[in-house]
Amino acid sequence: MSKHTLAAQNGGEPTPAQPGAEHSRVTLPVALTVAVFPVLGVILALAKMPTGEIVELLTYCGAIGSVTVLVVSGGRHLAATLAAFVLRISQ
């Protein structure tokens, strides 16, 4: 049901948020990113690619992904993520 339908059923009043209905911070793209890099590393290792080249290739892929996120989001999301990461490391 849409928000409008729920509001109409409640006499025009918005419905309160249910506990546990909050959005998770782990989204599908984040989960896939975490899963794809080790899988690619294993596939490349099975294809007899040297380990040093695998690490270098996946590092470049990660850098390209980070720059893409930076450009698309205007840099705010990536800057906030990096700042949070630096704060966690420094504690």
pLDDT at residue 20 tops 70: no
Q: 2 near 14, Cβ under 8 Å? A: no
When pLDDT is averaged across residues 82-91 and rounded to a whole number, the result is 81
pLDDT band, very low/low/confident/very high, at 10 (cuts 50, 70, 90): low
Arithmetic mean of pLDDT, 13-28? 60
Segment 23-64, tens digit of pLDDT? 557 677 777 877 888 899 999 999 999 999 999 999 888 888
Q: Calculate the alpha carbon distances from 65 to 19, 20, 44, 72 in Å.
A: 34, 31, 19, 11
The C-alpha atoms of residue 81 and residue 89 are separated, in whole angstroms, by: 12
Instruction: Look at the pTM and tell me if it is higher than 0.85.
Output: no
The kind and range of the H/E element at 28 are helix 28-46
